[in-house]
């Protein structure tokens, strides 16, 4: 170890401009295609929509799974940011704020939202979110924003539920998840003890 040249020595030869552009395009295209066709859409379609060849996709992402993981990681970043923000306020409404952020994110990434949180490309990110959820739940209970006896598990379940809402096609108005959340929050407020 000692004296070993730090790997950071690697000349960070920046990507060529066109390579960067394609990288972006692929990400965008992948989001759109997965959104429309679910997680089993094929790479060729993603490449075509991005206006590149499949080879280019594979030069940038080791495999289809890696591509999906990257997409999820990016989405996860948003959630983490939302969690930090919710933790910042110190009244008892951070939990509700976090839940609304989750709902919004799920609605945006509807079709592949099911992968979110199940797959865990980045375990530490998932842990942070879990911790934030626990903390915010505790605060909400303390502040009486939700009834005593509401647990982290209850909140986790609610999150899964909102995710399902986003995926379910049907006549779902885009705001259905909000209404659903309102109802469930009312229920949690009414929940005393277990």
Partner DNA sequence: CTGCAACCGGAGCGGGGATTCCGGTTGTGC
Partner DNA sequence: GCACAACCGGAATCCCCGCTCCGGTTGCAG
Site residues (vs DNA, CB under 7 A): 13, 15-19, 22, 40-44, 51-56, 58-60, 63-65
Among 1, 2, 6, 190, which residue interacts with a copy of itself (rule: CB under 8 A)?
A: 190
Q: Which among 27-35, 74-82, 83-91, 167-175 is the span making contact with a copy of itself, rule CB under 8 A?
A: 167-175
Count other C-beta atoms under 10 Å from residue 30's C-beta: 25
- Do the beta carbons of residue 179 and residue 132 sit within 8 Å? no
Count other C-beta atoms under 10 Å from residue 163's C-beta: 24
In b/e form, how buried is each residue of 35-71, taking b as 16+ CB within 10 angstroms? eeeeeebebebbbebbebeeebbeebbeebeebbbbb
| Closer of 71 and 117 to a copy of itself (Cβ) | 117
Min dist. Cβ of residue 26 to DNA (A):
9
Min dist. Cβ of residue 39 to DNA (A):
9
Instruction: Kindly list the distances between the CA atom of residue 14 and the CA atoms of 17, 18, 19, in Å, as whole numbers in the listed order.
Output: 9, 11, 10
Radius of gyration of the chain (CA): 20
Distance CA 38, CA 180 (A): 24
Q: Does 125 bind a copy of itself (CB under 8 A)?
A: no
Q: Does 169 bind a copy of itself (CB under 8 A)?
A: yes
Distance CA 115, CA 157 (A): 16
Distance CA 10, CA 7 (A): 6
Q: Does 144 bind a copy of itself (CB under 8 A)?
A: no
Q: Does 89 bind a copy of itself (CB under 8 A)?
A: no
| Closer of 17 and 194 to a copy of itself (Cβ) | 194
| Closer of 10 and 194 to a copy of itself (Cβ) | 194
Distance CA 50, CA 119 (A): 25
Q: Does 131 bind a copy of itself (CB under 8 A)?
A: no
Min dist. Cβ of residue 5 to DNA (A):
18
Q: Does 64 bind a copy of itself (CB under 8 A)?
A: no
Q: Which does 13 bind (CB under 5 to 8 A by kind): DNA, a copy of itself, none?
A: DNA
């Amino acid at each position: 170890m000692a004296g070993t040249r730090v790997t950071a020595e690697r000349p960070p030869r920046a990507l060529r401009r066109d390579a960067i552009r394609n990288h972006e395009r692929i990400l965008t295209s992948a989001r759109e295609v997965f959104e429309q066709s679910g997680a089993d859409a094929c790479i060729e379609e993603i490449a075509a929509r991005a206006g590149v060849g499949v080879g280019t996709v594979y030069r940038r992402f080791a495999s289809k799974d890696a591509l999906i993981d990257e997409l999820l990681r990016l989405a996860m970043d948003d959630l983490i940011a939302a969690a930090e923000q919710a933790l910042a306020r110190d009244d008892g409404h951070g939990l509700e704020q976090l839940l609304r952020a989750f709902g919004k994110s799920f609605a945006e990434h509807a079709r592949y939202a099911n992968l979110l949180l199940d797959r865990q490309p980045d375990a530490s990110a998932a842990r942070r979110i879990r911790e934030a959820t626990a903390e915010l739940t505790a605060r909400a209970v303390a502040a009486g924003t939700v009834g005593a006896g509401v647990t982290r598990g209850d909140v986790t379940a609610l999150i899964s539920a909102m995710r399902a809402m986003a995926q379910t096609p049907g006549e779902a108005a885009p705001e259905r998840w909000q209404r659903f959340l309102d109802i469930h929050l009312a229920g949690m407020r009414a929940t005393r003890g277990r």
